[in-house]
Amino acid sequence: MLIDFNSEKPIYLQLAEAIEDNILKGIFEEEFQIVSTTEISVKYKINPATAGKGVNVLVDEGILYKKRGLGMFVSTGAKKKILEKRRNSFYKDYVQSLLEEAAKLNISKEDIIKMIVGGSEIEDNSDKGSK
């Protein structure tokens, strides 16, 4: 889990996403306990309220649940929920910014598709002029 303190994204959201990533990767398994908010806040030197807020985002979404006196656990079906959520925002989160960057570099949609299919770099077409 990495937190970028210079990122535009608030720390608590980055934390929630980092926990989700770990669930997707199977590092945090369903029905197993995750690290406590204290451990998180100490490790990243962040205010415990910030860590708590990040964890609560996932509790509200039903991805984590609280066991009284024990701590935070990963819900059954959490992985599926995260997958659905991330798939729904995939276009906005990744494709849109890909297209924006491609437009800046004067890379056509066809070239992008070629890259995705072929997995190779495009030919230099800077002579087409980008201004």
Q: Which of residues 37-76 bind another protein (CB under 8 A)?
A: 37-38, 41-50
Q: How far is CA 82 from CA 23, 45, 58, 90, 128, in A?
A: 9, 27, 10, 12, 42
According to the binding rule CB under 8 A, does residue 87 interact with another protein?
no
Minimum distance, C-beta of residue 48 to another protein, in the bound complex (Å): 5
According to the binding rule CB under 8 A, does residue 89 interact with another protein?
no
Positive or negative, the CA dihedral 98, 116, 3, 32 is: positive
Positive or negative, the CA dihedral 127, 94, 51, 19 is: negative
According to the binding rule CB under 8 A, does residue 8 interact with another protein?
yes
CB 41 within 8 A of CB 80: no
Minimum distance, C-beta of residue 46 to another protein, in the bound complex (Å): 5
Q: Specify the stretch interacting with another protein by CB under 8 A; choose among 33-41, 56-64, 108-116, 123-131.
A: 33-41
According to the binding rule CB under 8 A, does residue 14 interact with another protein?
no
Closer to another protein by CB, 43 or 66: give it.
43
According to the binding rule CB under 8 A, does residue 105 interact with another protein?
no
According to the binding rule CB under 8 A, does residue 11 interact with another protein?
yes
CA angle 78/59/18 to nearest 5° reads 65
Point out which residues bind another protein (CB under 8 A).
5-8, 10-12, 37-38, 41-50, 100, 104
